[in-house]
């Protein structure tokens, strides 16, 4: 007897409903009609089943600190950094863990079973690093957490950040991070990219740098990142996050830059919610969107992922860690409403993000981990439109979160009807 069979699933890109059989935490068969029984059978009833959502860019050490010490009134990146600087001396080890644990619960409820979180290493005690290392282990049965050693105040700008970052890696942090555009000069920023990439290459680690998170078209550190990736033979192991200066670059240079990114096999990570609210603050009108050139990079064959970045922290006052909300905002600001484009946006919060994080065993094929989400939607387009309810969240073949179907009872005079806002409710125009 199998451990789990999910019946009558709709899968992205598949016209026929499928069953998914799981045993010992792995998917063992995907077929239109699987014979036999299982200890647990879940009827998907024609709903979309997807691999888990993946948040490829987050800051868990700062999450859920809304209002501490005050709310970001200007809504800008720099005020957020200033607020974090005020808050950091008052951080408490147990409080960091409590907030991170609650965020992980929210993530699981939303079907997000992998998070790459940056953690600030500009702290002589490495308090947040130590707290999130414990959370990573505590949450390992339920979701995958990657930690990025992130010198928030600058690798060269903050005293002893170089040694603190190495100390964080020695403690077990997974990925080398940086913020070159926050160094004192462009030259120092470029020098930090080289040093951080060399450190990662020496240790055999992945790289994920905050790059060019500004309105400045001359902030071009991703160019250096692409160069160093190739020089050090790190193709496929490096991510450039944000890249919002690209919205201000002239088209010729942007085209050249995207070719270099593709050649270096860089993954790029945009963060639509935060990018469009923090950026574009230095001009009046016309307003810049504050988002990198997602559509154009996808057309170039670049792996583009989306991250949530922040939930109720010094930078962003909103959010519930819903990656479908991220996708919904991303397709609007990127003007990506074609069918293929919407599907690619769905990929940005699933398979592309998993590729950027180099997650093993991700997917819905036999041999993959039995991790999946059953959505109250028929396809990715409907899922994004509705920010669809997560009916079941499954980890290694076990249900770890569930929700009842989301419907509303409408009474119009004598009529009483249930609505769920689904495509299947639309009037049949053929009648």
- Inside any domain, residue 412: no
- Inside any domain, residue 410: no
Give the model's pLDDT for residue 81: 87
- Tokens 């199998």 correspond to 2
- If you average pLDDT over residues 344-371, what whole number do you get? 98
Give the model's pLDDT for residue 429: 52
Burial of 337 (C-beta count, 10 Å sphere; 0-12/13-18/19+): exposed
Compute the distance between CA of residue 180 and CA of residue 169 in angstroms, rounded to an integer.
Answer: 19
Give the model's pLDDT for residue 280: 77
pLDDT class of 77 with cuts at 50, 70, 90: confident
Same domain (yes/no): 59, 125: yes
Count of CB atoms situated within 10 Å of the CB of 404: 8
Residue 32's CATH number: 2.30.40.10
Compute the distance between CA of residue 385 and CA of residue 377 in angstroms, rounded to an integer.
Answer: 9
Same domain (yes/no): 282, 344: yes
Same domain (yes/no): 132, 248: yes
% of residues, the chain, pLDDT over 70: 99
Give the model's pLDDT for residue 2: 96
Q: Looking at the 3D structure of the chain, how many domains does it have?
A: 2
Same domain (yes/no): 188, 210: yes
Compute the distance between CA of residue 305 and CA of residue 327 in angstroms, rounded to an integer.
Answer: 10
Quote the domain boundaries for residue 20: 2-51+363-402
Same domain (yes/no): 42, 152: no
Q: Which helix (H) or strand (E) holds 54?
A: strand 53-58
- Chain segment 15-60, per-residue pLDDT in tens: 999 999 999 999 999 999 999 999 999 999 999 999 999 999 999 9
- If you average pLDDT over residues 68-97, what whole number do you get? 92
**DSSP annotation of 213:** -
- pTM, 2 dp: 0.96
Same domain (yes/no): 220, 297: yes
Same domain (yes/no): 89, 167: yes
pLDDT class of 431 with cuts at 50, 70, 90: very low
- Inside any domain, residue 340: yes
- Inside any domain, residue 10: yes
What 88-94 contacts at long range (C-beta under 8 Å, 24+ apart), as own/partner pairs, is: 88/120, 88/123, 91/61, 91/127, 91/128, 93/127, 93/130, 93/131
Task: Please spell the DSSP secondary structure of 271-322, one letter per residue.
Answer: -HHHHHHHSS-S--SSPP-----HHHHHHTT-EEEE--B-SSSSS-S---S-
Same domain (yes/no): 104, 195: yes
- Chain segment 329-357, per-residue pLDDT in tens: 999 999 999 999 999 999 999 999 999 99
Burial of 76 (C-beta count, 10 Å sphere; 0-12/13-18/19+): middle
Compute the distance between CA of residue 143 and CA of residue 111 in angstroms, rounded to an integer.
Answer: 10
Among candidate residues 79, 138, 162, 213, the one labeled active-site is 213
Residue 72's CATH number: 3.20.20.140
Closest CA to 327 of 272, 262, 404: 272
CB–CB of 114/359 below 8 Å? Answer: yes
- Chain segment 302-328, per-residue pLDDT in tens: 999 999 999 999 999 999 999 999 999
Compute the distance between CA of residue 54 and CA of residue 333 in angstroms, rounded to an integer.
Answer: 20
Same domain (yes/no): 224, 85: yes
Final residue belonging to a domain, choices 337, 357, 377 = 357
Task: Please spell the DSSP secondary structure of 223-247, one letter per residue.
Answer: HHHHHHHHHTT-TTSEEEEE-GGGG
Give the CB-side neighbour count of residue 82, counting CA atoms within 13 A: 10
- Inside any domain, residue 219: yes
Q: Report CA dihedral (301, 144, 158, 162) to the nearest 10 degrees.
A: -90
- Chain segment 18-27, per-residue pLDDT in tens: 999 999 999 9
- Inside any domain, residue 120: yes
- Inside any domain, residue 74: yes
Same domain (yes/no): 85, 26: no
- Inside any domain, residue 255: yes
Q: Which helix (H) or strand (E) holds 415?
A: strand 415-419
CB–CB of 238/286 below 8 Å? Answer: no
Same domain (yes/no): 368, 350: no
- Chain segment 236-275, per-residue pLDDT in tens: 999 999 999 999 999 999 999 999 999 999 999 999 999 9
Compute the distance between CA of residue 129 and CA of residue 223 in angstroms, rounded to an integer.
Answer: 29
CB–CB of 251/223 below 8 Å? Answer: no
Q: What mean pLDDT, rounded, does the chain reach?
A: 96
* Residue 382 is a catalytic residue: no
- Chain segment 111-121, per-residue pLDDT in tens: 999 999 999 99
Side by side, the strands of the sheet bearing 38-43 are: 26-31, 18-23, 2-9, 38-43
Final residue belonging to a domain, choices 357, 377, 411 = 357
Query: Is residue 428 over pLDDT 90?
Result: no
- If you average pLDDT over residues 164-182, what whole number do you get? 98
Compute the distance between CA of residue 55 and CA of residue 63 in angstroms, rounded to an integer.
Answer: 14
Same domain (yes/no): 235, 342: yes
């Amino acid at each position: 007897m199998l451990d789990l069979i999910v019946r009558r699933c709709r899968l992205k890109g598949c016209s026929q409903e499928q069953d998914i059989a799981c045993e010992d935490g792995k998917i063992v068969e995907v077929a239109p009609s699987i014979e036999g029984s299982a200890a647990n059978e879940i009827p998907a009833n024609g709903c979309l089943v997807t691999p888990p959502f993946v948040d490829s860019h987050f800051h868990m050490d700062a999450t859920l600190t809304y209002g501490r010490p005050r709310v970001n009134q200007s809504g800008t990146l720099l005020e957020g950094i200033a607020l974090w600087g005020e808050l950091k001396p008052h951080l408490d080890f147990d409080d960091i863990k409590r907030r991170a644990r609650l965020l992980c619960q929210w993530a699981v409820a939303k079907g997000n079973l992998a998070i790459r979180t940056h953690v600030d290493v500009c702290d002589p005690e490495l308090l947040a690093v130590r707290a999130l290392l414990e959370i990573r282990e505590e949450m390992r049965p339920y979701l995958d957490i990657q930690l990025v050693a992130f010198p928030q105040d600058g690798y060269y700008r903050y005293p002893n950040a170089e040694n603190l970052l190495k100390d964080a890696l020695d403690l077990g942090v997974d990925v080398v991070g940086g913020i070159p555009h926050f160094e004192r000069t462009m030259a120092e920023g470029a020098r930090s990219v080289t040093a951080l990439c060399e450190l990662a290459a020496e240790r055999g680690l992945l790289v994920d740098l905050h790059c060019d998170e500004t309105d400045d078209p001359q902030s071009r550190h991703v160019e250096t990142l692409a160069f160093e990736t190739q020089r050090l033979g790190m193709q496929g192991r490096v991510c450039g996050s944000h890249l919002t200066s690209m919205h201000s670059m002239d088209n010729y240079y942007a085209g050249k830059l995207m070719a270099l990114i593709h050649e270096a096999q860089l993954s790029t990570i945009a963060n639509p919610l935060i990018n469009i609210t923090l950026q574009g603050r230095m001009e009046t009108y016309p307003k810049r969107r504050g988002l990198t050139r997602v559509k154009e990079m996808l057309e170039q064959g670049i792996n583009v992922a989306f991250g949530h970045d922040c939930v109720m922290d010094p930078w962003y006052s909103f959010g519930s860690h819903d990656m479908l909300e991220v996708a919904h905002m991303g397709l609007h600001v990127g003007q990506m409403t074609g069918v293929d484009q919407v599907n690619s946006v769905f990929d940005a919060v699933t398979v592309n993000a998993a590729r950027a994080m180099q997650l093993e065993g991700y997917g819905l094929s036999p041999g993959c981990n039995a991790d999946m989400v059953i959505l109250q939607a028929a396809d990715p387009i409907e899922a994004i439109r509705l920010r669809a309810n997560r009916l079941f969240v499954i980890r290694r073949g076990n249900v770890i979160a569930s929700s009842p179907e989301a419907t509303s009872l409408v009474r119009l005079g004598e009529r009483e009807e249930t609505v769920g806002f689904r495509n299947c409710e639309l009037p049949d125009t053929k009648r």
